[in-house]
Amino acid sequence: MNALNELPLKQTDDTSKLHSVELTPALAQAAQEAVKAAALRRRVIINVLRVAFILIILIGWEVFARQGVIDSFFWGQPTGIWEQLQTWVFEGTAQGPLWEQIAVTLEETLLGFLIGASLGIVIGIMLARIRFLGDVFGPFINVANAIPRVVLGPLFIVSMGLGLQSKVMLAVVMVFFAVFYNVFQGVREVDRNLVANARILGASSWQISRHVIFPSAMTWIIASLHISFGLALVGAVVSEFLGSLKGLGLMIATAQGTFNPNGLFAAILILAVVTLIVEGLITRLEKVLLKWRPSTIRDVGL
């Protein structure tokens, strides 16, 4: 503000002394800097408030737990969670080293995610593009979708055992439907002009799928990938609850069995961090794949 006032303001017209100020380069630069400074100040305030918010919750939790307002036997307490994390990191968990549990769960999740998403994309495009197939298989997919997928977990464990397969299978089933419906919708809503244009330019049916349908459904596919990664994780973890030898889900189940709320929270925290990291990678992938799109709304993050 002060910098603005000290600038020499050049008046263009003597008769109109009211507002007519010529925008000199120096003035324009000063204005720009003022805007930048305001944006920076806003960012700082937001971050300070965020940190304050989490500190209030953690400190409040800890204080109330120590005073006995919150029963730490059932609800845990932040320092306990921290100690639990330290134990896991430095001494390992009951089932082996922590990194191994994370790796196992991630492997199940990623495999389930990749297989489920690929199947969803391929079958989604096929059923939406080939009306005959859509008519034949549509009802089956709707019926299958009506079943809450989690109940299939026990079935997979019975038929495939406690190992990797049953976990991946449940994750695949969870992911498939989310991706499938998004892709199906995306393909059905492709701009008809673009398809007509491709046909006139000589594209075969396959080329239309590859060069028009797939890229334009990509926005929908990417949107569903965000959700479906979460679903894959749910599938893997739930399946680990139900029966497994390793993994974060088993850690949670163990913590539950031993009345260890700190262990539960610590495992949840680890899950959240892992998910956030993978989500970040997906967002990056999205930026590469959708670089043709104008970047108007993308920056309004939540």
Partner 1 sequence: MSSQQPTQPLRTSDRLYRALLMAYPAKFRREYGPLMAQAFRDLCRDAYRRRGVPELLKLWVRTLPEVAATAAVERVEILLDSTATAPGVPPPAIEFRGAYKRFQAPNGEIKTILRDLNFKVEPGEFCAVVGPTGCGKSTTLALIAGLESANNGEVLVMGEPVQEVGQKVGYVFQTDAIFPWKSVLDNVAAGPLFRGTPKSEAYTRARDWIRRVGLAGFETYYPHQLSGGMRKRVALAQSFITEPQILLMDEPFSALDVQTRTLMEGELLDLWASTEAAVLFVTHDLEEAIALADRVVVLTAGPATIKGIYKIDLPRPRNISEIRFDPHFAQLYKNIWEDLRDEVMISYERAKRTAS
Interacting residues toward partner 1 by CB under 8 A: 191, 193-194, 196-204, 207, 211-212, 215-216, 218, 291-294
Residues 6+ apart with CB under 8 A from 123: 176, 180
Q: How far is the CB of 203 from partner 1 (least distance, A)?
A: 4
Q: How far is the CB of 282 from partner 1 (least distance, A)?
A: 19
- C-beta closer to partner 1: residue 43 or 293: 293
- C-beta closer to partner 1: residue 79 or 207: 207
Q: Alpha-carbon distance 179 to 222, whole Å? A: 9
- C-beta closer to partner 1: residue 150 or 211: 211
Q: Alpha-carbon distance 33 to 27, whole Å? A: 10
- C-beta closer to partner 1: residue 1 or 200: 200
- C-beta closer to partner 1: residue 83 or 191: 191
Q: What sign for the dihedral angle of Cα 114, 117, 118, 119?
A: positive
Q: Alpha-carbon distance 167 to 108, whole Å? A: 6
Q: How far is the CB of 184 from partner 1 (least distance, A)?
A: 20
Q: How far is the CB of 197 from partner 1 (least distance, A)?
A: 4
Q: How far is the CB of 279 from partner 1 (least distance, A)?
A: 24
